[in-house]
Amino acid sequence: MMDYFTEKEKECPDCGLNLVDRNNDFLRALNTARDLYGAPMEATSMTRCEPHNTEIGGAPRSAHMDGRAADIRCSNMEARMNMVKCFIAAGFRRIEISPVHIHVDMKKGARDAFMIKTGMGIV
């Protein structure tokens, strides 16, 4: 399967660390979602080193620090709903929708239950 995401998108912006390429299941699911979507997806955050995660106010045990999370830019409602459908079809069960991006992850040790989180809480 094609890898639609650039090295720059996968790397921590502070130190250049790339943990995404080590997580084949995550990267495969992300590329499957992109393939299903049929249009470009821009990752605004994937790998984060601990100092960068702390600096931007990320969760203390963020899946970004394991290279198992991505924030995908999206501010259009129609595109957002189409992307969410593609993420679900690709196997993601942890999805967070914000006004500017969609967060997806495959956090180790997280519940396997399906969860969509919005600014209004978990739905």
- Both tokens of 26, joined, read 């995550």
- Under 8 Å between Cβ of 41 and 4: yes
Residues 15-61: pLDDT tens digits?
A: 999 999 999 999 999 999 999 999 999 999 999 999 999 999 999 99
DSSP 5: S
> What is the per-residue pLDDT for 33?
98
pLDDT band at 99 (very low <50, low <70, confident <90, very high): confident
- Under 8 Å between Cβ of 14 and 46: no
Pairing of strands 94-97, 43-45: unpaired
In this model, does residue 70 exceed pLDDT 70? yes
pLDDT band at 107 (very low <50, low <70, confident <90, very high): confident
> What is the per-residue pLDDT for 122?
46
- What CATH number should be reported for the domain whose range is 7-122? 3.30.1380.10
